Every structure is written in structure tokens, then in C-alpha cells.
């Protein structure tokens, strides 16, 4: 599956290599992508996320998006559009990984049919808006069926295509964010939550997701602001209480942590950290 947004550490690198002698449209590109591991990431999921960003990096070069297509000011839209066109990657020739503490870097060398990619992008740009929205809705419905069947990669891929078709639908990003939360990939979930909040600043669930990601990333002031805002908008948001309890626990404010963990439990969410904290007090 492909990741959802460039993080700050993403490197745009690599050079166009020689064109294939078999097919003038097929060219070899390399790309570089980086991913910073969070507390819930495994090494394998971090490597996959880094690889996905490297593939998108190579696709962006092949598409020459800035020169030949209407690039929006909103970088996320461009990323979802280019991510949705992965069928133009004919072959992954090589993938190399490097690790620097929590940072995972992937380098890929791929064969891409640049003409096919540009045809795909041109067709995408020329599709009527109403048709894009209709097709996006169908992809969302299909994605949810995959999700119910626990086929998360397929669901995420379809939601990425839907987001490219209808980038102003906050619910597409939210659904994708919730799948990432279920996978424990809070970095990707946080990026999607940010997209939701740009479209709907009072989306209480996107606030707690972004707050949780900020907390896990060590951005404590941003985290508590998001979690407090989520609770103000929905005083029954069990997940917001749970992560705010984690925030207070981390800062040694045990009475506040206990209160929030108990609220989350009463509302129906008894996470492992809350259970350990509360039962450890007995």
C-alpha cells in the first residue's frame, strides 16, 4: 500500500537514467523516500511506508507534473493523484534500505511507462467533475467492503484513488485515517486527519487522531490543544479522553490521568495503557 503524505523528512532525489532500448516510452527512474518510525510502527511497516514514498517520488518525476499538468497549490491533492496512478510502474528493479536511528530511508529503481502515466494524468484532468465525484463514491463503497473483510491494503488503495477524484470530501480522508489508526500507523493517520481538518476544522474525531499522533511524536502542546478541542466539541469522545489520559500520565499528573482513563472506560474504551495504570493503582 502507499502512504498518504510526504513527512518533513521526505527527500526528493534521484536522477533520470537511460531509456530502455526496447520501448522508447519505458524509462528507468530512481526515487528516495523517508519514514520516521513511531512508537507503534514495526520495522517492516516503516520500510514499506518509506518504499511507497520512494515509488511516488519516482512517479512524480516520470509524470513531469509541474510542466505538463495543472498542479494545485494543495500538495496533498497532487500526492493522491500521483499515488493513484501506480499502474504505470512496470517493474521495481531494485529496492535498498538504510536506517538512521528511527529514520528509515528507501531507494528504488523502477521502470515506468512515462507515456502511459501522462495519458492517465491527462484523462484524469479531463474527466468532468460530476463523473469524478460519482466514481469516487463508488470507490469508497468498494473500499469499505474490503475493510470489512480485513483487506486493509486494498481499502487504502481505493480510498487514495477516491481522494484523488474528490479531494474536497473530508470523509474520504477520515475513513482512510481510521484504517491507519486500526493498523497502528498514527503518522499516516495524522496526515489524513490534518487533511480532514483543513476541510472541516470542527471534526471532533480528526482532532483526537491528530492529537494522538502529535502526542506520540512528542509534540505535547499541539497534542493537548487538539485533545481538549475534541472533547469540547464532543464531551463523550472516549478516544480523546484516553489519549488525554496518556498525556497527563506522561507528565506525572496522575489524578487527571486517572480521571480521563475512567471516563474513557465508562464510555466504552479501555485501552491497555489505561488498564495497566488503573489496575496498577489498586
- pLDDT, tens only, 191-231: 899 999 999 999 999 999 999 999 988 899 999 999 999 99
Does residue 89 lie in a domain region?
Answer: yes
pLDDT in tens, 67-126: 333 444 444 455 566 556 655 566 778 889 999 888 899 998 888 776 776 676 677 777
Whole-angstrom distance, CA of residue 52 vs CA of residue 106: 9
Cell of 77: 491533492
Whole-angstrom distance, CA of residue 180 vs CA of residue 256: 28
Does residue 228 lie in a domain region?
Answer: no
Helix (H) or strand (E) holding 63: helix 43-63
Does residue 78 lie in a domain region?
Answer: yes
What pLDDT is stored for residue 62 in this prediction?
67
What pLDDT is stored for residue 81 in this prediction?
64
Whole-angstrom distance, CA of residue 151 vs CA of residue 172: 17
- φ, ψ of residue 197 in degrees (nearest 5): -70, -25
Does residue 2 lie in a domain region?
Answer: yes
Nearest to 63 by CA among 132, 116, 125: 116
Tally of domains in the chain? 1
- Report the percent of the chain where pLDDT is more than 70: 76
Q: How far apart are the first and last CA of the chain?
A: 44
Residue 173 has pLDDT above 50, yes or no: yes
Chain mean position to CA 214: 14
Does residue 75 lie in a domain region?
Answer: yes
- Computed over its alpha carbons, how large is the radius of gyration of the chain? 21
Buried b (16+ CB within 10 A) or exposed e, 1-17: bbbbbbbeebeeebeee
CATH of the domain at 91: 3.10.129
Does residue 81 lie in a domain region?
Answer: yes
- Report the percent of the chain where pLDDT is more than 90: 38
Mean pLDDT of 265-276: 92
- Domain range holding 29? 1-126
Whole-angstrom distance, CA of residue 272 vs CA of residue 34: 30
Is the CB of residue 206 less than 8 Å from the CB of residue 178? no
Does residue 113 lie in a domain region?
Answer: yes
Amino acid at each position: 500500500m502507499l502512504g498518504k503524505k510526504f513527512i518533513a523528512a521526505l527527500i526528493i532525489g534521484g536522477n533520470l537514467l537511460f531509456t530502455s532500448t526496447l520501448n522508447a516510452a519505458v524509462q528507468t527512474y530512481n526515487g528516495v523516500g523517508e519514514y520516521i518510525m513511531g512508537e507503534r510502527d514495526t520495522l517492516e511497516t516503516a520500510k514499506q511506508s518509506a518504499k511507497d514514498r520512494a515509488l511516488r517520488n519516482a512517479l512524480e518525476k516520470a509524470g513531469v507534473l509541474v510542466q505538463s499538468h495543472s498542479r494545485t497549490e494543495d500538495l496533498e491533492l497532487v500526492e493522491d493523484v500521483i499515488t493513484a496512478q501506480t499502474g504505470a510502474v512496470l517493474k521495481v528493479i531494485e529496492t535498498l534500505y538504510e536506517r538512521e536511528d528511527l529514520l528509515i530511508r528507501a531507494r528504488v529503481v523502477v521502470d515506468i511507462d512515462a507515456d502511459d502515466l501522462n495519458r492517465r494524468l491527462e484523462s484524469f484532468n479531463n474527466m468532468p467533475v460530476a463523473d469524478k465525484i460519482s466514481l469516487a463514491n463508488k470507490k469508497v463503497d468498494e473500499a469499505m467492503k474490503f475493510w470489512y473483510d480485513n483487506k486493509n491494503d486494498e481499502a487504502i488503495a481505493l480510498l487514495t484513488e477516491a481522494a484523488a477524484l474528490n479531494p474536497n470530501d473530508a470523509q474520504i480522508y477520515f475513513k482512510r485515517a481510521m484504517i491507519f489508526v486500526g493498523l497502528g500507523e498514527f503518522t499516516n493517520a495524522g496526515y489524513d486527519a490534518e487533511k480532514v481538518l483543513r476541510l472541516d476544522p470542527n471534526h471532533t474525531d480528526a482532532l483526537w487522531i491528530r492529537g494522538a499522533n502529535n502526542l506520540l511524536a512528542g509534540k505535547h502542546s499541539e497534542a493537548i490543544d487538539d485533545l481538549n478541542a475534541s472533547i469540547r466539541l464532543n464531551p463523550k469522545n472516549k478516544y480523546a479522553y484516553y489519549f488525554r489520559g496518556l498525556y497527563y500520565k506522561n507528565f506525572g499528573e496522575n489524578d487527571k490521568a486517572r480521571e480521563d482513563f475512567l471516563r474513557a472506560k465508562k464510555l466504552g474504551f479501555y485501552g491497555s495503557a489505561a488498564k495497566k495504570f488503573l489496575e496498577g493503582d489498586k
